[in-house]
């Protein structure tokens, strides 16, 4: 069964297809576990508030949604960007077939009895990829999911269980957090140099080099850990455990293009404070440290 969360995307999309322009294409981790999706963000009008019933049914299926804790990201949003478009929620879900509403009834009863959502997702969900992650999909924003799924996820109260529906089946959705998406900052090489020379500031950031291993052997900057963009599908599965999503993350590549792509991917996984090194290691060598070889 195909999962609803990215209904207009292809599982074969990769970071090489990514651009960083406003109204951009960006990489979103697949909730089905088959890789990353390429998503185009388009402008869309704000939906009028709709009062959701606890069970909201139509011809395609039924969803059960749970909204949990709230966490706001830092401010600094562009004035021209809609607050609704920038609002994100972190969600997980349980997917069942359209004729299995009784399973959602059972899920409600077992949750009320104190059972764990992640365990129930692993036991009951039809979505193979997210089932392996306890039903976790990640951060979503308006325009990325099927309309009824989006409505349920964004209009339910925090902590509320609701049901909605899509053409893919019946879903139990748990929204774990809410935040305003923050743009990716462009960092100058001079600012990076200041950070590298200040132990206190250096302790407050994590540095990621997304170039290839062969490039790192030619030229490198101290303190950066290597995570090649070409292997993003591999390290993306564990990056939220290896790096702190709430710590300032600075990304570097050769000229700043691949690192921008990686930054947008990390943003889709919930990283809250991201900077892209403008001009990459080439600019760092040219303007800061000529001892770093240029290539």
**Catalytic positions:** 253
Q: How far, in Å, are 12, 137, 176 from residue 101 at the CA level?
A: 32, 21, 23
């Amino acid at each position: 069964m195909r999962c609803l969360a990215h209904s207009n995307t292809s599982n074969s999309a990769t970071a090489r297809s990514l651009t960083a322009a406003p109204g951009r294409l960006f990489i979103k981790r697949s909730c089905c576990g088959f890789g990353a999706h390429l998503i185009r963000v388009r402008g869309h009008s704000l939906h009028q508030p709709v009062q959701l019933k606890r069970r909201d049914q139509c011809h395609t299926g039924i969803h059960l949604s749970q909204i949990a804790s709230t966490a706001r990201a830092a401010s600094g949003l562009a004035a021209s960007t809609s607050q609704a478009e920038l609002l994100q929620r972190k969600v997980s879900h349980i997917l069942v077939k359209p004729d299995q509403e009784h399973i959602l009834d059972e899920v409600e009863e077992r949750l009320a009895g104190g059972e764990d959502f992640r365990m129930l997702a692993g036991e009951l969900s039809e979505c193979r990829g997210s089932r392996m992650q306890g039903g976790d999909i990640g951060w979503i924003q308006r325009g990325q999911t099927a309309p009824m799924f989006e409505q349920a996820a964004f209009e339910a109260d925090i902590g509320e269980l609701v049901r909605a529906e899509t053409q893919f089946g019946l879903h139990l959705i748990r929204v774990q957090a809410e935040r305003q998406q923050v743009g990716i900052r462009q960092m100058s090489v001079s600012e990076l140099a200041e950070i590298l020379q200040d132990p206190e500031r250096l302790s407050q950031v994590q540095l990621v080099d997304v170039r290839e291993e062969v490039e790192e052997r030619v030229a490198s900057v101290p303190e950066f850990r290597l995570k090649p963009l070409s292997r993003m599908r591999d390290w993306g599965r564990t990056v939220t455990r290896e790096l702190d999503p709430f710590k300032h993350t600075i990304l570097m590549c050769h000229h700043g293009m691949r690192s921008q792509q990686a930054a947008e991917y990390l943003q889709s996984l919930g990283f809250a404070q991201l900077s892209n090194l403008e001009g990459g290691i080439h600019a760092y060598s040219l303007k800061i440290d000529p001892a770093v070889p240029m290539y």
